[in-house]
């Protein structure tokens, strides 16, 4: 009864909208791709970096008639094979007159084409004449972004505490104000120059308070210069890069298992800017890439302070990566460790063959010595480490083979190798196969490769994924990943295994109306305690996830998306746990001057194991995908206004109410009550 009115409103809105005629809608596939990453619980920093870069590229699309081969290879949603295929196609067919001519590139399947369409356009080519510094400043693009978020519901960390309580429990109260804010300035000139400054503070961090005069908690800057003779890229300040398949170094893009069904192969990425507000997952210093015919050489050096938890002896027991500095304990960990990293990649490439040599060395100014546990016996315990690898790829007919084999300073080896098949016509589909074997003793703190675990260590697996188009309106995407963990892991006190299976079928009623059904099943093992026993035993558990979704766009600017999510989780010998969410998203677009979105969802889950995710629209340049468990409703309303030319304001309100809770959260984030309200705002000025 409590939620009858919101649900009736949901049904009425749905029934009214489905009768409107269809029209072209905004492409959402790359955002849905990041939603998939979030569901797979990928590191939030990685997703934030990806979102920031893709949002920038979407607002600054690339001219197909002017794009260079290097630019295509830098484009994050193309594999190297796809980038080269697009470059070859453009060399033979320029000028192109529409972005849809990309459908003639055999290496691009339908899913990839739909995903990349927002990032390209077919336009005229401007005269390529050398410009002076004054002309560069005049013709460059400036942008200022300001974001301000606030939770309207009172949280425990912002309450009033007596001096005597704080003397005993100083970490019960936040040091700063209860709002989030960030400020960004950027200057870009074509693809040649990028400069930016960013400042950010999280909610609870002090801002210009007594004893904290620096203003924002986090500052960053970058300068990227490209294509000056042999110098292909120069990066100063904050930057990211990736070598090979990521066994030695990758703080750039990562791919989801479902997203790899059409490409599992990565490639070395030249230095690129770090402009998100994420406070880790990047380097700070200098990097450069030079190119001599078929050879490119990238070298970098980074020197920055990082957060860490220290033992009484002063050694590092763990790294603090959440970026929060809200209580005295956080401040003790803030930037208390210096990290130096240097490395190099030498890469040779011709039309079919590529080989790269990679090396990395890092040093901390104190010993890294995690508290010894059975599961972490093979973790790095030193102030220094080094890694080296060889990465390789070869194209033959419609096949691409690629891989990387790496070694760490202690002699342990990791390898990953993949084979992709793409038919002559993308109408058929593609198949990807990947095998990896990461030694239990392999140590690489900056690695980020294809894996089930967060660490590139103690894992062997075989992945096969495919995308097919059996009929003109139907697409099928599937993968299966079989994994073995040769040694004990965190919360798994014996060697174990896992199975991850995914299948999705999509049917297009028209250009803008699509229905898809997605099913995921994962089987893993973990330590489990029986209710009447104090000891634990390793038991298998299984998770089923089913999603039904229908989306459509209409001729007068309206669009809608209806989603039903159902989950089931069971540990062997234990009762089954269930969860579901029914949600409706309704949006309106009016020539980019006014857009609005309304999201309503009802969720009902037994435990955190069956939590559900909210697929709601966010303010500009911001990725946020909350999860919920328990029983309740989620409502969100967002709007974007073009106040005047080049000045845009976005606002969003989110409301969550639980019917089975009197308290939300815990610790300093605890809310006494069953509801939470948040406001998000964003202002962007281009000039």
Give the Cα separation of 377 and 241 in Å (integer).
30
Query: Looking at residues 131-148, what average pLDDT do you find?
Result: 89
**Structure token pair of residue 274:** 């770090």
Q: Is the pLDDT of residue 177 over 60?
A: yes
CB 43 within 8 Å of CB 281: yes
Q: Quick count: other Cβ atoms within 10 Å of Cβ 127?
A: 4
**Structure token pair of residue 564:** 């039903």
Give the Cα separation of 177 and 146 in Å (integer).
17
Q: What Cα–Cα distance (Å) separates residue 229 from each residue in 147, 232, 260, 293, 510?
A: 39, 7, 35, 12, 49
Share of the chain above pLDDT 70, in %: 94
Query: Looking at residues 477-481, what average pLDDT do you find?
Result: 95
- Least confident window among 118-122, 336-340, 546-550: 118-122
Give the Cα separation of 282 and 285 in Å (integer).
10
Q: Which candidate, 89, 16, 49, 20, places its Cα nearest to that of 512?
A: 20
Give the Cα separation of 168 and 86 in Å (integer).
64
SS3 170: helix
Confidence at residue 404, expressed as pLDDT on a 0 to 100 scale: 98
Give the Cα separation of 501 and 137 in Å (integer).
52
Q: Is the pLDDT of residue 9 over 70?
A: no
CB 348 within 8 Å of CB 294: yes
Give the Cα separation of 92 and 228 in Å (integer).
26
Q: Quick count: other Cβ atoms within 10 Å of Cβ 643?
A: 11
Q: Which candidate, 455, 458, 465, places its Cα nearest to that of 418?
A: 465
Say which residues have a Cβ less than 8 Å from residue 627's Cβ, sequence separation at least 6: 611, 612, 613, 614
Phi, psi of 76 (to 5 degrees): -70, -20
What pairs with residue 355 in β-bridges? Answer: 348, 392
Confidence at residue 539, expressed as pLDDT on a 0 to 100 scale: 97
pLDDT tens by residue, 258-286? 666 667 888 888 899 999 999 999 999 99
Give the Cα separation of 351 and 672 in Å (integer).
63
Give the Cα separation of 405 and 29 in Å (integer).
33
CB-based burial label for 573 (10 Å; 0-12, 13-18, 19+): exposed
Q: Could you tell me whether strands 269-273 and 496-508 are parallel, antiparallel, or unpaired per DSSP bridges?
A: unpaired
Confidence at residue 15, expressed as pLDDT on a 0 to 100 scale: 40
Confidence at residue 43, expressed as pLDDT on a 0 to 100 scale: 67
Confidence at residue 204, expressed as pLDDT on a 0 to 100 scale: 96
| Band of residue 8 on the pLDDT scale cut at 50, 70, 90 | very low
pLDDT tens by residue, 489-548? 999 999 999 999 999 999 999 888 999 999 999 999 999 998 888 889 999 999 999 999
Query: Looking at residues 88-99, what average pLDDT do you find?
Result: 92
Residue identified by tokens 């870069």 is: 53
Confidence at residue 557, expressed as pLDDT on a 0 to 100 scale: 86
Give the Cα separation of 576 and 287 in Å (integer).
52
Q: Is the pLDDT of residue 354 over 80?
A: yes
Query: Looking at residues 401-418, what average pLDDT do you find?
Result: 97
Give the Cα separation of 138 and 637 in Å (integer).
38
SS3 477: strand
Say which residues have a Cβ less than 8 Å from residue 359's Cβ, sequence separation at least 6: 248, 343, 344, 345, 386, 387, 388, 389
Q: Is the pLDDT of residue 27 over 50?
A: no
CB-based burial label for 210 (10 Å; 0-12, 13-18, 19+): exposed
Give the Cα separation of 462 and 257 in Å (integer).
12
Q: Is the pLDDT of residue 16 over 60?
A: no
Say which residues have a Cβ less than 8 Å from residue 600's Cβ, sequence separation at least 6: 6, 9, 10, 583, 584, 633, 634, 635
Q: Quick count: other Cβ atoms within 10 Å of Cβ 361?
A: 15
Give domain 63-126's CATH architecture: Orthogonal Bundle (1.10)
Confidence at residue 380, expressed as pLDDT on a 0 to 100 scale: 97
Confidence at residue 638, expressed as pLDDT on a 0 to 100 scale: 95
Q: What Cα–Cα distance (Å) separates residue 300 from each residue in 75, 271, 288, 364, 433?
A: 21, 9, 6, 17, 32
Read off the DSSP letter of residue 392. Answer: E
Give the Cα separation of 85 and 102 in Å (integer).
10
CB 195 within 8 Å of CB 140: no
Give the Cα separation of 269 and 239 in Å (integer).
11
Confidence at residue 683, expressed as pLDDT on a 0 to 100 scale: 96
């Amino acid at each position: 009864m409590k939620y009858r009115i919101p649900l009736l409103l949901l049904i009425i809105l749905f029934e009214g909208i489905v009768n409107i005629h269809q029209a072209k809608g905004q492409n959402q596939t790359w955002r849905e791709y990041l939603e998939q990453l979030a569901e797979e619980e990928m590191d939030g920093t990685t997703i934030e970096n990806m979102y920031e870069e893709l949002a920038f590229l979407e607002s600054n699309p690339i001219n197909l008639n002017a794009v260079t081969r290097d630019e295509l290879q830098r484009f994050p949603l193309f594999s190297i094979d796809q980038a080269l295929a697009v470059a070859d196609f453009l060399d033979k067919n320029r000028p192109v007159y529409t972005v849809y001519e990309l459908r003639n590139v055999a290496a691009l399947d339908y899913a990839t084409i739909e995903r990349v369409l927002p990032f390209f356009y077919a336009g005229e080519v401007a005269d390529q004449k050398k410009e002076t510094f004054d002309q560069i400043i005049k013709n460059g693009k400036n942008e200022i972004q300001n974001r301000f978020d606030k939770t309207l519901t009172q949280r425990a960390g912002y309450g009033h505490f007596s001096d005597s309580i704080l003397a005993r429990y100083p970490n019960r109260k936040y040091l700063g104000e209860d709002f989030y804010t960030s400020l960004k300035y950027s200057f870009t000139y074509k693809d040649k120059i990028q400069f930016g400054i960013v400042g950010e503070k999280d909610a609870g961090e002090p801002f210009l308070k007594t004893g904290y005069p620096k203003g924002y908690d986090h500052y960053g800057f970058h300068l990227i210069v490209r294509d000056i003779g042999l110098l292909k890229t120069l990066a100063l300040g904050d930057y990211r890069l990736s070598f090979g398949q990521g066994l030695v170094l990758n703080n750039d893009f990562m791919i989801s298992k479902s997203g790899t069904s059409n490409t599992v192969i990565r490639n070395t990425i030249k230095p690129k800017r770090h402009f998100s507000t994420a406070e880790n997952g990047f380097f700070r210093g200098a990097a450069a890439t030079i190119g001599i015919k078929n050879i490119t050489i990238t070298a970098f050096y980074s020197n920055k302070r990082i957060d860490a938890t220290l033992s009484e002896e002063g050694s590092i027991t763990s790294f603090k990566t959440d970026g929060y500095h809200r209580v005295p304990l956080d401040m003790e960990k803030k930037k208390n460790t210096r990290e130096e990293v240097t490395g190099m990649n030498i890469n040779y490439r011709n039309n079919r063959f590529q080989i790269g040599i990679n090396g990395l060395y890092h040093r901390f100014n104190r010993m890294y010595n995690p508290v010894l546990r059975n599961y972490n016996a093979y973790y790095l315990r030193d102030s220094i480490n080094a890694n080296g690898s060889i990465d390789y790829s070869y194209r033959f007919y419609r096949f691409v083979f690629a891989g990387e084999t790496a070694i760490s300073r202690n002699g342990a080896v990791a390898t990953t190798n993949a084979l992709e098949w793409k038919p002559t016509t993308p109408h058929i589909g593609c198949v990807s196969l990947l095998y990896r074997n990461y030694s239990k003793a392999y140590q690489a703190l900056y690695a980020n490769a294809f894996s089930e675990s967060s660490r590139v260590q103690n894992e062997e697996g075989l992945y096969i994924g495919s995308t097919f188009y059996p009929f003109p309106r139907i697409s099928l995407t599937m993968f299966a990943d079989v994994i073995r963990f040769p040694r004990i892991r965190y919360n798994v006190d014996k060697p174990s295994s896992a199975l991850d299976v995914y299948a999705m079928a999509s049917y297009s009623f028209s250009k803008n109306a699509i229905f898809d059904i997605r099913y995921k099943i994962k089987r893993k093992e973990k330590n489990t305690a029986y209710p009447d026993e104090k000891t634990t035993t390793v038991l298998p558990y299984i998770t089923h996830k089913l999603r039904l979704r229908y989306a459509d766009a209409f001729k007068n600017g309206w669009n809608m998306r209806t989603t039903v999510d159902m989950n089931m989780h069971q540990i062997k010998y234990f009762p089954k746990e269930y969860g579901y969410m029914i949600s409706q998203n309704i949006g309106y677009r009016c020539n980019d001057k006014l857009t609005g979105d309304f999201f309503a969802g009802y969720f009902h889950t037994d435990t955190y194991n069956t939590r559900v995710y909210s697929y709601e629209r966010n303010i500009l340049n911001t990725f946020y995908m909350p999860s919920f468990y328990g029983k309740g409703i989620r409502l969100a309303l967002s709007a974007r206004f073009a106040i005047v030319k080049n000045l845009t304001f976005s606002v969003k309100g989110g409301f969550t109410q639980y019917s089975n809770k009197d308290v939300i959260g815990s610790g300093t984030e605890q809310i006494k009550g069953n509801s939470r309200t948040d406001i998000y705002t964003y202002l962007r000025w281009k000039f």
